Amino acid sequence: MTTPLVDPHGRVVRDLRISVTDRCNFRCTYCMPEEGMTWLPRSEVLTFEEIERVARICVERYGFGSIRLTGGEPTVRAHLPLLVEKLAGLGVDLAMTTNGATLRLLAADLRRAGLNRVNISLDSLRAERFEALTRRNALADVLDGIDAAVEAGFSPVKVNCVLIRGVNDDEAIAFAEFGRRRGVVIRFIEFMPLDADGAWSAASVVPAAEVVSTIDAVYPLEPVASGSAPAERWRYRDGGGEIGVISSVTNSFCGTCDRVRLTAEGQFRNCLFAVRETDLRAVLRGGGSDDDVAAAVEAEVGRKWAGHSIGQVTFVRPDRSMSQIGG
Ligand code: SAM
Ligand code: SF4
């Protein structure tokens, strides 16, 4: 018997984002500094058993329906398929966001272990620009990783692309063509003020509406009726597949938000932009019962705000960057 977990604004929380590591094999400019990242000591990172316990409580008590693994880069966590296998046993929609660089090695194992869906991040199709953005010469590996995900049977494979004004905003059409050719769904995500070096400005955001109209002018689009998912879906009128746009800045989807997050070191957050969090690891390692864990989860959800205020003077940047929260 599950009881829905309802926040103070009447939204039912049913989606858990789990960061399985703070480490990463890339250093994307909009996410991490080039040098000087200090990683959490392994002892501070939640074990697979601890992660599974939190997930189980969320699913069994509150009927959570989806879990997404993220990071840092989730695939650098050793034995990731074992965690996937444990979480798949909970019977929820299990997804992962990855930079894709090592998917050639892992995609089939992850699929076999019970991963349902995969999103691969890719912000440029030009090798030099890709290297400037990620500080890694790995475009070929990521493209091969996308192929590996398709071959492993993930369907549809989604590719997340953050367009930044003056950096890669001239690639919208190239991405559309890439998606049509490879049979993957490109999701354009607006640049958010969660970059490690604080370079974000409103002027650097490429609005989702602009991306839609740029692509529509070349490959006509029509909207797909969608539920509460943040991605607004559009399909090509000629049947060439679809794209998604995530207008997290220009048109926040906070009103339908159903998410909470668990960081790699066990901090429980009620929003990507939250400026406070609950130390669930202390409860887990302090001998807390499932009731204690659930009480901490409920208390944090009880503090969930109506929404972020990016673009307004009241907006306060969280201390953590995207890789530390788990995007
Ligand atoms: N390493 C994995 C990856 O890159 O897909 C998972 C973690 S990453 C933090 C999750 C997603 O957040 C990626 O799609 C990345 O492009 C996105 N991201 C990181 N920093 C961002 C920012 N400042 N604004 C918008 N998206 C961002
Ligand atoms: Fe790593 Fe993903 Fe951040 Fe890039 S966006 S540095 S791949 S965690």
Say which CATH number the domain at 90 has. 3.20.20.70
Amino acid at 55: A
Can you tell me the distance from the alpha carbon of 86 to that of 89, in angstroms, rounded to the nearest whole number? 5
Q: Work out whether strand 278-279 and strand 242-246 pair parallel, antiparallel, or are unpaired.
A: unpaired
Is the pLDDT at 317 greater than 70? The verdict is no
Helix axes 80-88, 103-113, angle to 10 degrees: 20
Tell me the CA–centroid distance for residue 300 and ligand 2, in Å: 27
Q: Which of the four pLDDT bands, split at 50, 70 and 90, describes residue 297?
A: very high
Residue 264's SS3 state is coil
Query: Is the CB–ligand 1 distance for residue 214 below 6 Å?
Result: no
Tell me the CA–centroid distance for residue 128 and ligand 2, in Å: 17
Q: What is the pLDDT of residue 310?
A: 59
Residue closest by Cα to atom 8 of ligand 2: 72
| Closest alpha carbon to 320 in 247, 281, 271 | 271
Pull the structure tokens for residue 3.
């009881």
Is the pLDDT at 118 greater than 90? The verdict is yes
Question: Which residues, at least 6 apart from 40, have a Cβ–Cβ distance to it below 8 Å?
Answer: 22, 264, 265
Q: Which domain holds residue 34?
A: 5-325
Can you tell me the distance from the alpha carbon of 41 to that of 215, in angstroms, rounded to the nearest whole number? 45
Mean pLDDT across 270-282: 90
Residue among 96, 133, 322, 323 whose CB has most ligand 2 atoms within 8 A, to mutate = 323
Amino acid at 268: F
Query: Is the CB–ligand 1 distance for residue 141 below 6 Å?
Result: no
| Residue 24 alpha carbon, nearest atom of ligand 2 | 1
Provide the domain count of the chain.
1
Residue with token string 């296998």: 85
Q: What is the pLDDT of residue 289?
A: 98
Is the pLDDT at 213 greater than 70? The verdict is yes
Q: Please answer whether residues 175 and 299 qualify as being in contact, where contact means their C-beta atoms are separated by less than 8 angstroms.
A: no
Q: What is the pLDDT of residue 314?
A: 55
- This prediction's pTM: 0.93
| Bridge partners (DSSP) listed for residue 98 | 120
Is the pLDDT at 230 greater than 50? The verdict is no
Mean pLDDT across 100-123: 98
Can you tell me the distance from the alpha carbon of 100 to that of 74, in angstroms, rounded to the nearest whole number? 10
Tell me the CA–centroid distance for residue 327 and ligand 1, in Å: 5
Q: What is the pLDDT of residue 152?
A: 98
Is the pLDDT at 244 greater than 80? The verdict is yes
Pull the structure tokens for residue 76.
């650098």
Can you tell me the distance from the alpha carbon of 169 to that of 103, in angstroms, rounded to the nearest whole number? 26
User: Percentage of residues in the chain with pLDDT exceeding 90?
Assistant: 78
Can you tell me the distance from the alpha carbon of 17 to that of 97, in angstroms, rounded to the nearest whole number? 10
- For the chain, report the end-to-end CA distance as a whole number of angstroms: 31
Tell me the CA–centroid distance for residue 246 and ligand 1, in Å: 13
The pLDDT tens digits for 254-264 are 888 899 999 99
Q: What is the pLDDT of residue 227?
A: 59
Query: Is the CB–ligand 1 distance for residue 71 below 6 Å?
Result: yes
Helix axes 139-151, 103-113, angle to 10 degrees: 30
Mean pLDDT across 53-71: 98
Residue with token string 């490959």: 219
Question: Which residues, at least 6 apart from 185, have a Cβ–Cβ distance to it below 8 Å?
Answer: 156, 157, 158, 159, 179, 241, 242, 243, 244
Q: Flag the least confident range among 145-159, 172-186, 313-327.
A: 313-327
